[in-house]
Amino acid sequence: MTMLNVLWLQSGGCGGCSMSLLCADTPDFQRQLQACGVHLLWHPSLSIETGHELTALLQRLLDGDERLDVLCIEGAVLRGPHGTGRFHVLAGTDQPMMAWIERLAAVAGHVVAVGSCAAWGGISATGANPTEACGLQHDDERVGGLLGAAWRGRAGLPVVNVAGCPTHPGWVLDTLAALSHGLMTERDLDALQRPRFYADKLVHHGCTRNEFYEFKASAEAPSDLGCMMEHMGCKGTQAHADCNTRLWNGEGSCTRGGYACVSCTEPGFQDPGHAFDRTPKLAGIPIGLPTDMPKAWFVALASLSKSATPKRVKDNATADHIVVAPAIRKTRLK
């Protein structure tokens, strides 16, 4: 493991990925960072240095007087108005953040997009996208973004897209640890440049509502216990992330918190073309079927399982607590 000089800057975003990072499951966050091989040159929430002390550091990095191993960018690149980048002028510098990012990326060993805003534009690019927000190497799913499709860090990798809104603290720490151990290659990234250690999983994996899913026993309103795929807009069967196997803030996840997965690791999730909290359907069948599942099979299985739904599962699906407990059975052989 080598200690990495990590610079963390924020632009068009909410800062929530940093706040989430501080929720990393460790009794000593600072030691954990060091254990992941991180030497923080500067972070907006964690560093004593301010103002001219930061701008001096940025200059040393650009001049090559200090090594920049990893540039973490949180938040989208704001290209507006009219491509000038002046919707975010880095305080104290009179220079658009867009220009700072471009210049620093050119001297960085790796660039990590922390969160969906930095990866694709994310929520910052929603609707009319008044700030012309985009990601570092993507504009939604289109490759390009600020740095362009051909861009590679000095260590050879494209931008590492730790997508999510916000990012799970473990995704960020595991990424930095993999980089410091030299264990992150292009093969470890999926087609959207997301680390495969979390992007090769589905939110559906480990969902506590799986029995309701199996029987298509569906929630109809917020706080119902049933599966949220049929009516409530849940995309957990399609969304790439390990949220229900690597839990959030102790024992949480979106589905465990009572609401639909909006597929926040996916480029363009912010503009789904339908209301987030309702499942779009065609002839009563959800348009977004589980990933890798043929439609005919889904329809056949769904109608079969609906007709076989136990009363317990059906009744509990539309209640906010268990109203029918499972029958007690002897499971041993007689």
* Residue 100 vs residues 90, 156, 175, 220, 229: alpha-carbon distances, Å: 8, 21, 23, 48, 42
Residue 323 CA to residue 334 CA, distance in Å, equals 30
For another protein, which is the closer residue by CB, 90 or 108? 90
325 to 202, 220, 311, 334: CA distances (angstroms): 29, 20, 10, 24
Contact between 253 and another protein by CB under 8 A: the answer reads: yes
Residue 161: name the closest of 198, 112, 124 by CA.
Answer: 112
Q: Is 11 in the site for another protein (CB under 8 A)?
A: yes
Cis, peptide link before residue 166, omega less than 30° from 0:
yes
Q: Which of 5, 71, 73, 88 binds another protein (CB under 8 A)?
A: 88
Q: Choose which of 7, 72, 90, 229 interacts with another protein (CB under 8 A).
A: 90
Q: Decide if residue 255 touches another protein (CB under 8 A).
A: yes
Query: Least CB distance from residue 325 to another protein, whole Å?
Result: 13
Pick one of 7, 54, 113, 157: the residue that binds another protein (CB under 8 A): 54
Q: Assess 218 for contact with another protein (CB under 8 A).
A: no
| Tokens coding 320 | 């906010």
**Distance linking the first and last C-alpha atoms of the chain:** 57
How many positions of this chain bind another protein (CB under 8 A)?
Answer: 79
Q: At what angle do helices 97-107 and 52-62 cross, to 10 degrees?
A: 40
Q: Which of residues 97-116 bind another protein (CB under 8 A)?
A: 97
CB-nearer residue toward another protein: 22 or 308: 22
Query: If binding is defined by CB under 8 A, does position 287 make contact with another protein?
Result: no
List beta partners, residue 138.
Answer: 143
Beta bridge partners of 73: 9, 113
3-state secondary structure of 261: coil
Nearer to another protein, 121 or 158 (CB): 121
Q: How far is the CB of 151 from another protein (least distance, A)?
A: 24
Taking CB under 8 A as the criterion, the residue among 71, 111, 124, 140 binding another protein is 124
Q: Is residue 210 a contact point for another protein (CB under 8 A)?
A: no
Contact stretch for another protein (CB under 8 A) within 192-200, 244-252, 279-287, 306-314: 244-252
Binding mask 145-164 for another protein (x = CB under 8 A): --------------------
Among 260, 267, 279, 317, binds another protein (CB under 8 A): 260
Asked if 9 and 71 touch (Cβ cutoff 8 Å), the reply is: yes
Least distance in angstroms from the C-beta of 269 to another protein: 9
Give the β-pairing of 138-139 and 95-96.
Answer: unpaired
Of residues 169-188, those binding another protein (CB under 8 A)? none
State the nearest-atom distance from the C-beta of 97 to another protein, in Å. Answer: 8
Q: What angle do CA 306, 312, 318 make, to 5 degrees?
A: 75
Q: Which of 142, 152, 256, 314 forms a contact with another protein (CB under 8 A)?
A: 256
Cis preceding linkage at 267, omega within 30: no
